[in-house]
Protein backbone atom coordinates (compact mmCIF):
# COMPACT_ATOMS: atom_id res chain seq x y z
CA UNK A 1 0.00 0.00 0.00
CA UNK A 2 1.18 3.51 -0.84
CA UNK A 3 1.49 5.85 2.16
CA UNK A 4 -1.15 8.59 2.00
CA UNK A 5 -2.32 11.17 4.48
CA UNK A 6 -4.54 10.59 7.47
CA UNK A 7 -8.11 11.55 6.49
CA UNK A 8 -9.13 14.99 7.75
CA UNK A 9 -12.24 15.46 9.93
CA UNK A 10 -12.85 11.75 9.40
CA UNK A 11 -15.21 11.07 12.31
CA UNK A 12 -17.36 14.12 11.57
CA UNK A 13 -17.46 13.25 7.87
CA UNK A 14 -18.56 9.65 8.39
CA UNK A 15 -21.07 10.70 11.03
CA UNK A 16 -22.38 13.27 8.56
CA UNK A 17 -23.15 10.54 6.02
CA UNK A 18 -25.66 9.04 8.49
CA UNK A 19 -24.84 5.58 7.13
CA UNK A 20 -27.46 2.92 6.51
CA UNK A 21 -25.62 -0.46 6.71
CA UNK A 22 -27.51 -1.67 3.64
CA UNK A 23 -27.15 1.55 1.64
CA UNK A 24 -25.04 2.63 -1.33
CA UNK A 25 -22.31 5.21 -0.77
CA UNK A 26 -19.67 7.03 -2.80
CA UNK A 27 -16.14 8.05 -1.85
CA UNK A 28 -15.55 10.52 -4.68
CA UNK A 29 -11.85 11.06 -3.88
CA UNK A 30 -10.51 7.68 -2.74
CA UNK A 31 -6.79 8.54 -2.33
CA UNK A 32 -5.39 6.38 0.44
CA UNK A 33 -8.79 4.88 1.20
CA UNK A 34 -9.10 6.32 4.70
CA UNK A 35 -12.75 7.39 4.43
CA UNK A 36 -13.59 4.29 2.36
CA UNK A 37 -12.38 1.91 5.07
CA UNK A 38 -14.40 3.75 7.69
CA UNK A 39 -17.51 3.51 5.52
CA UNK A 40 -16.95 -0.20 4.83
CA UNK A 41 -16.73 -0.88 8.57
CA UNK A 42 -20.28 0.48 8.91
CA UNK A 43 -21.75 -1.42 5.96
CA UNK A 44 -23.25 -4.90 6.08
CA UNK A 45 -24.86 -5.69 2.71
CA UNK A 46 -24.32 -2.15 1.45
CA UNK A 47 -22.10 -1.03 -1.43
CA UNK A 48 -19.34 1.55 -1.70
CA UNK A 49 -18.31 3.10 -5.04
CA UNK A 50 -14.93 4.87 -5.02
CA UNK A 51 -13.42 7.25 -7.59
CA UNK A 52 -9.85 8.46 -8.10
CA UNK A 53 -8.04 9.54 -11.26
CA UNK A 54 -4.60 9.08 -9.69
CA UNK A 55 -3.22 5.68 -10.74
CA UNK A 56 -1.27 5.48 -7.45
CA UNK A 57 -4.58 5.32 -5.59
CA UNK A 58 -5.44 2.00 -7.24
CA UNK A 59 -2.72 0.39 -5.13
CA UNK A 60 -4.68 1.23 -1.98
CA UNK A 61 -7.94 -0.49 -2.96
CA UNK A 62 -8.76 -3.26 -0.44
CA UNK A 63 -10.08 -6.65 -1.53
CA UNK A 64 -13.75 -6.29 -0.63
CA UNK A 65 -16.74 -7.48 -2.64
CA UNK A 66 -18.74 -4.49 -1.40
CA UNK A 67 -16.33 -2.02 -3.04
CA UNK A 68 -16.44 -0.92 -6.69
CA UNK A 69 -13.44 1.19 -7.73
CA UNK A 70 -13.43 3.58 -10.70
CA UNK A 71 -10.07 4.88 -11.92
CA UNK A 72 -11.74 8.07 -13.16
CA UNK A 73 -12.31 11.71 -12.31
CA UNK A 74 -15.31 12.29 -10.05
CA UNK A 75 -16.68 14.72 -12.62
CA UNK A 76 -18.01 11.59 -14.40
CA UNK A 77 -19.81 10.44 -11.26
CA UNK A 78 -23.28 9.87 -12.71
CA UNK A 79 -22.17 8.04 -15.86
CA UNK A 80 -20.12 5.43 -14.04
CA UNK A 81 -22.63 4.87 -11.25
CA UNK A 82 -25.33 4.43 -13.87
CA UNK A 83 -23.11 2.00 -15.83
CA UNK A 84 -22.83 -0.23 -12.74
CA UNK A 85 -26.54 0.16 -11.83
CA UNK A 86 -25.66 1.88 -8.56
CA UNK A 87 -28.09 4.79 -8.79
CA UNK A 88 -29.43 6.38 -6.69
CA UNK A 89 -27.06 6.49 -3.71
CA UNK A 90 -27.51 7.18 0.00
CA UNK A 91 -24.49 9.40 0.49
CA UNK A 92 -21.39 10.94 -1.07
CA UNK A 93 -18.17 12.08 0.59
CA UNK A 94 -15.49 14.12 -1.21
CA UNK A 95 -12.18 15.30 0.26
CA UNK A 96 -10.91 17.94 -2.17
CA UNK A 97 -7.38 18.11 -0.79
CA UNK A 98 -4.16 16.96 -2.42
CA UNK A 99 -2.65 14.01 -0.56
CA UNK A 100 0.62 14.12 1.35
CA UNK A 101 1.72 11.25 -0.90
CA UNK A 102 1.40 13.46 -3.99
CA UNK A 103 3.29 16.31 -2.34
CA UNK A 104 6.09 14.03 -1.19
CA UNK A 105 6.82 12.33 -4.52
CA UNK A 106 9.33 14.55 -6.34
CA UNK A 107 8.45 13.12 -9.75
CA UNK A 108 4.89 14.41 -9.42
CA UNK A 109 6.09 18.03 -9.24
CA UNK A 110 3.48 19.10 -6.68
CA UNK A 111 5.95 20.63 -4.24
CA UNK A 112 8.62 23.30 -4.57
CA UNK A 113 10.54 21.51 -1.78
CA UNK A 114 11.78 18.80 -4.15
CA UNK A 115 13.37 18.94 -7.60
CA UNK A 116 11.48 17.02 -10.22
CA UNK A 117 9.57 17.48 -13.48
CA UNK A 118 7.19 20.44 -13.37
CA UNK A 119 4.19 18.19 -13.95
CA UNK A 120 1.42 18.54 -11.31
CA UNK A 121 -1.04 16.27 -13.11
CA UNK A 122 -3.28 14.08 -10.95
CA UNK A 123 -3.46 11.63 -13.85
CA UNK A 124 -0.19 11.18 -15.77
CA UNK A 125 -2.05 9.86 -18.80
CA UNK A 126 -4.11 12.97 -19.50
CA UNK A 127 -3.81 16.70 -20.04
CA UNK A 128 -1.03 19.25 -20.17
CA UNK A 129 1.75 19.59 -17.62
CA UNK A 130 2.56 22.67 -15.55
CA UNK A 131 5.76 23.00 -17.59
CA UNK A 132 3.66 23.36 -20.74
CA UNK A 133 1.56 26.02 -19.02
CA UNK A 134 4.50 28.18 -17.92
CA UNK A 135 6.34 27.78 -21.24
CA UNK A 136 3.44 28.41 -23.64
CA UNK A 137 0.70 30.52 -22.02
CA UNK A 138 0.69 34.23 -22.82
CA UNK A 139 0.89 37.01 -20.23
CA UNK A 140 -2.87 37.49 -19.98
CA UNK A 141 -3.54 33.79 -19.37
CA UNK A 142 -0.76 33.42 -16.81
CA UNK A 143 -1.90 36.56 -14.99
CA UNK A 144 -5.44 35.19 -14.78
CA UNK A 145 -4.28 31.83 -13.41
CA UNK A 146 -2.11 33.34 -10.68
CA UNK A 147 -4.60 36.05 -9.77
CA UNK A 148 -7.77 33.93 -9.72
CA UNK A 149 -6.52 30.48 -8.69
CA UNK A 150 -3.63 31.54 -6.47
CA UNK A 151 -4.84 34.96 -5.30
CA UNK A 152 -1.35 36.32 -6.03
CA UNK A 153 -1.27 40.11 -5.65
CA UNK A 154 1.57 40.75 -8.12
CA UNK A 155 0.27 38.20 -10.64
CA UNK A 156 1.02 40.37 -13.69
CA UNK A 157 4.59 40.97 -12.54
CA UNK A 158 4.97 37.24 -11.95
CA UNK A 159 3.61 36.42 -15.41
CA UNK A 160 6.01 38.87 -17.09
CA UNK A 161 8.91 37.45 -15.12
CA UNK A 162 8.10 33.92 -16.29
CA UNK A 163 7.82 35.01 -19.93
CA UNK A 164 11.18 36.80 -19.76
CA UNK A 165 12.92 33.86 -18.08
CA UNK A 166 11.56 31.25 -20.50
CA UNK A 167 13.09 33.21 -23.39
CA UNK A 168 16.48 32.56 -21.84
CA UNK A 169 15.89 28.90 -20.93
CA UNK A 170 12.96 26.49 -21.03
CA UNK A 171 11.45 25.96 -17.57
CA UNK A 172 11.29 22.18 -17.11
CA UNK A 173 11.66 21.32 -13.41
CA UNK A 174 10.27 22.57 -10.12
CA UNK A 175 13.66 24.04 -9.20
CA UNK A 176 13.93 25.68 -12.67
CA UNK A 177 10.63 27.38 -11.93
CA UNK A 178 11.50 28.46 -8.39
CA UNK A 179 14.78 29.92 -9.67
CA UNK A 180 13.01 31.70 -12.54
CA UNK A 181 10.52 33.50 -10.29
CA UNK A 182 12.87 34.15 -7.37
CA UNK A 183 13.23 37.88 -8.06
CA UNK A 184 9.49 38.55 -7.65
CA UNK A 185 8.89 36.27 -4.64
CA UNK A 186 8.35 37.99 -1.30
CA UNK A 187 11.28 37.05 0.90
CA UNK A 188 9.23 37.48 4.08
CA UNK A 189 6.55 35.02 3.03
CA UNK A 190 8.43 32.93 0.45
CA UNK A 191 6.89 29.57 1.30
CA UNK A 192 3.33 30.89 1.39
CA UNK A 193 3.81 32.72 -1.91
CA UNK A 194 5.26 29.68 -3.69
CA UNK A 195 2.52 27.46 -2.23
CA UNK A 196 -0.10 29.78 -3.73
CA UNK A 197 1.69 29.79 -7.10
CA UNK A 198 1.92 25.99 -7.20
CA UNK A 199 -1.74 25.77 -6.14
CA UNK A 200 -2.70 28.00 -9.07
CA UNK A 201 -0.76 25.86 -11.54
CA UNK A 202 -2.21 22.65 -10.10
CA UNK A 203 -5.78 23.94 -10.39
CA UNK A 204 -5.20 24.93 -14.01
CA UNK A 205 -3.48 21.70 -15.03
CA UNK A 206 -6.11 19.46 -13.44
CA UNK A 207 -9.14 21.63 -14.23
CA UNK A 208 -9.99 21.29 -10.56
CA UNK A 209 -12.70 23.92 -10.31
CA UNK A 210 -14.44 22.78 -13.49
CA UNK A 211 -14.31 19.19 -12.21
CA UNK A 212 -15.78 20.29 -8.88
CA UNK A 213 -18.58 22.19 -10.62
CA UNK A 214 -19.43 19.17 -12.80
CA UNK A 215 -19.40 16.91 -9.74
CA UNK A 216 -21.63 19.15 -7.63
CA UNK A 217 -24.18 19.66 -10.38
CA UNK A 218 -24.70 15.90 -10.67
CA UNK A 219 -25.23 15.24 -6.96
CA UNK A 220 -28.97 16.12 -6.79
CA UNK A 221 -29.68 13.53 -9.49
CA UNK A 222 -27.37 10.92 -7.98
CA UNK A 223 -28.60 11.13 -4.37
CA UNK A 224 -31.77 9.57 -3.00
CA UNK A 225 -34.22 11.71 -1.06
CA UNK A 226 -32.64 12.03 2.39
CA UNK A 227 -29.19 11.22 1.00
CA UNK A 228 -26.23 13.17 2.35
CA UNK A 229 -23.54 15.17 0.54
CA UNK A 230 -20.36 15.61 2.61
CA UNK A 231 -17.54 17.79 1.24
CA UNK A 232 -14.20 18.82 2.76
CA UNK A 233 -12.52 21.78 1.05
CA UNK A 234 -9.18 23.49 1.66
CA UNK A 235 -9.25 26.90 0.03
CA UNK A 236 -11.79 29.67 -0.48
CA UNK A 237 -12.42 29.01 -4.18
CA UNK A 238 -13.58 25.46 -3.49
CA UNK A 239 -15.45 26.29 -0.30
CA UNK A 240 -17.38 29.11 -1.98
CA UNK A 241 -18.57 26.76 -4.74
CA UNK A 242 -19.61 24.10 -2.23
CA UNK A 243 -21.37 26.61 0.03
CA UNK A 244 -23.25 28.24 -2.86
CA UNK A 245 -24.32 24.94 -4.34
CA UNK A 246 -25.57 23.46 -1.09
CA UNK A 247 -27.48 26.65 -0.31
CA UNK A 248 -29.09 27.29 -3.69
CA UNK A 249 -28.61 24.24 -5.90
CA UNK A 250 -26.54 26.22 -8.41
CA UNK A 251 -22.88 27.14 -8.74
CA UNK A 252 -23.51 30.89 -8.85
CA UNK A 253 -25.28 30.88 -5.48
CA UNK A 254 -28.33 32.55 -7.02
CA UNK A 255 -31.45 32.12 -4.91
CA UNK A 256 -34.30 30.76 -7.03
CA UNK A 257 -37.81 31.23 -5.59
CA UNK A 258 -41.17 29.73 -6.49
CA UNK A 259 -44.39 31.62 -7.14
CA UNK A 260 -44.94 31.99 -3.39
CA UNK A 261 -41.48 33.35 -2.70
CA UNK A 262 -40.09 30.16 -1.19
CA UNK A 263 -36.44 29.41 -1.95
CA UNK A 264 -35.95 26.43 -4.26
CA UNK A 265 -32.96 24.24 -3.47
CA UNK A 266 -32.54 20.46 -3.68
CA UNK A 267 -30.77 20.47 -0.32
CA UNK A 268 -31.35 21.11 3.36
CA UNK A 269 -28.21 22.44 5.02
CA UNK A 270 -27.05 20.27 7.94
CA UNK A 271 -24.01 22.39 8.87
CA UNK A 272 -25.02 26.05 9.16
CA UNK A 273 -21.34 26.87 9.64
CA UNK A 274 -18.50 24.74 8.29
CA UNK A 275 -17.02 22.20 10.69
CA UNK A 276 -13.31 22.79 11.31
CA UNK A 277 -10.60 20.69 12.91
CA UNK A 278 -9.79 20.82 16.60
CA UNK A 279 -6.39 22.02 17.78
CA UNK A 280 -5.69 18.42 18.78
CA UNK A 281 -6.27 17.16 15.23
CA UNK A 282 -4.25 20.01 13.74
CA UNK A 283 -1.33 19.19 16.03
CA UNK A 284 -1.07 15.68 14.55
CA UNK A 285 -2.28 16.47 11.04
CA UNK A 286 -1.19 19.91 9.84
CA UNK A 287 -3.20 19.77 6.61
CA UNK A 288 -6.37 19.85 8.73
CA UNK A 289 -5.73 23.50 9.57
CA UNK A 290 -7.41 24.89 6.46
CA UNK A 291 -10.10 22.19 6.12
CA UNK A 292 -13.79 23.10 6.07
CA UNK A 293 -16.46 20.43 6.19
CA UNK A 294 -19.96 21.11 4.87
CA UNK A 295 -22.90 18.70 4.92
CA UNK A 296 -26.24 18.88 3.11
CA UNK A 297 -29.21 16.53 2.75
CA UNK A 298 -31.20 15.92 -0.44
CA UNK A 299 -34.78 17.09 0.05
pLDDT digits 0-9 by tens, 145-159: 999 999 999 999 999
Domains of the chain as residue ranges with CATH:
10-100+209-298 (3.40.50.150), 105-206 (1.10.150.170)
Average pLDDT, the chain: 91
pLDDT of residue 75: 97
Q: How far apart are CA 270 and CA 68, in angstroms?
A: 28
Where is average pLDDT lowest: 30-39, 252-261, 269-278?
Answer: 252-261
Q: What is the dihedral of CA 194, 198, 199, 200, to 10 degrees?
A: 100
Strand partners, 231: 94, 294
Say if residue 133's pLDDT is above 90. yes
Per-residue pLDDT, averaged over 126-131, amounts to: 91
DSSP strand pairing (267-269 vs 292-298): antiparallel
> Quick one: pLDDT band at residue 235, thresholds 50, 70, 90?
very high
Tens-place pLDDT, residues 100-110: 445 445 444 45
pLDDT of residue 110: 54
Indicate yes or no: pTM above 0.85: yes
pLDDT tens digits, residue range 242-257?
Answer: 999 999 999 988 888 8
Per-residue pLDDT at 256: 82
Q: Is the Cβ–Cβ distance between 237 and 212 less than 8 Å?
A: no
Measured between alpha carbons, how far is 185 from 83 in angstroms, rounded to an integer? Answer: 48
pLDDT for residue 106: 45
Mean pLDDT in residue range 183-202: 92
Amino acid sequence: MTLYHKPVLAEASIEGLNINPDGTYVDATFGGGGYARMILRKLSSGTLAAFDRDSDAAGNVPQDDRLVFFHHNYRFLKNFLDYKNLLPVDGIVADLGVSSHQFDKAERGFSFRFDGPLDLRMDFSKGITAAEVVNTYDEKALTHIFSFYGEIKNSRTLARCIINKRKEKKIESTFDFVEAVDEVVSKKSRNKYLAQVFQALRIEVNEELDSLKDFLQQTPEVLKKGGRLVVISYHSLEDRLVKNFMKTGNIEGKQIKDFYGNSQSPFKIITRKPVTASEEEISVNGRARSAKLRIAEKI
